[in-house]
């Protein structure tokens, strides 16, 4: 997502309404995307998005730019999602409505592999069925694997940024993303293509 300028952060600190509105607009799409995929409930995601910015404003006096401002905000949102899961004890489905893209790297061709197996005359219906299967498969991932996959593939954050958010080593984050993709492939009966050495994997829209 677009980097938040220091000018906007200072405006937020000063309580400027225009700065607040601008920052919220910049975060709205990526952060709502992340929260909704984490809790599986659009209405709840809206509430948690609003609560995230309540906490951002409350914590802003103590904010120190050791990490990017966006990383700090995502960390607050993630903690709210974790609190929700802790209290609810429920595993929520993750929506896959938005397109998926990453910069660089190889491809795990889930959509292509699935399409190749489609024999039904109604391809649109078959595609919807496969998308449902993919949603259900992602919902079976452990919360730790699912959140790393969401942050990497859907929010396009770097491994370093994710490591800051989830408070884990970069190598651990890479393993979690790799393991999440491996488990998805196994659940779907699709063999994930190996990315070329040194390149990353990515998942396309299903």
**What average pLDDT does the segment 148-175 reach?**
89
Mean predicted lDDT score pLDDT of the chain: 74
**Across the strands, what pairs with 203?**
108
Check: pTM over 0.85? Answer yes or no.
no
pLDDT by residue (tens digit) across 56-111?
Answer: 988 888 888 777 899 999 999 999 988 887 765 433 333 334 334 344 433 333 44
Query: CA-CA distance, 69 to 22, in Å (whole number)?
Result: 14
Query: CA-CA distance, 73 to 55, in Å (whole number)?
Result: 9
Domain(s) labelled CATH 1.10.10.10 in the chain stretch across: 93-206
pLDDT of 189 over the 60 cut: yes
Going by pLDDT thresholds of 50, 70 and 90, the confidence category of residue 206 is very low
Domain(s) labelled CATH 1.10.1740.10 in the chain stretch across: 6-88
CATH code assigned to 6-88: 1.10.1740.10
Q: Which has the minimum average pLDDT: 19-28, 108-117, 137-146, 172-181?
A: 108-117
Query: CA-CA distance, 197 to 12, in Å (whole number)?
Result: 43
Specify whether domain 93-206 bears CATH 1.10.10.10.
yes
């Amino acid at each position: 997502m677009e980097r938040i300028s220091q000018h906007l952060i200072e405006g937020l600190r000063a309580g400027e309404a225009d700065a607040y509105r601008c920052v919220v607009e910049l975060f709205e799409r990526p952060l709502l995307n992340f929260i909704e995929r984490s809790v599986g409930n659009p209405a709840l995601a809206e509430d948690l998005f609003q609560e995230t910015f309540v906490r951002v404003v409350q914590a802003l006096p103590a904010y120190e730019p050791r990490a990017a401002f966006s990383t700090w905000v995502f960390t607050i949102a993630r903690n709210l999602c974790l609190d929700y899961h802790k209290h609810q004890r429920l595993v929520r489905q993750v929506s896959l409505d938005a397109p998926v893209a990453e910069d660089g790297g190889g491809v795990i061709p889930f959509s292509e592999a699935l399409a190749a197996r489609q024999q039904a005359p109604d391809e649109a219906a078959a595609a919807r069925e496969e998308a449902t299967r993919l949603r259900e498969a992602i919902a079976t991932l452990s919360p730790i694997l699912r959140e790393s996959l969401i942050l990497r593939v859907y929010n396009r954050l770097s491994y370093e940024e994710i490591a800051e958010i989830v408070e884990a080593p970069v190598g651990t984050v890479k393993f979690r993303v790799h393991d999440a993709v491996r488990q998805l492939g196994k659940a779907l009966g699709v063999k994930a293509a190996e990315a070329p050495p040194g390149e990353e994997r990515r998942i396309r829209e299903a």
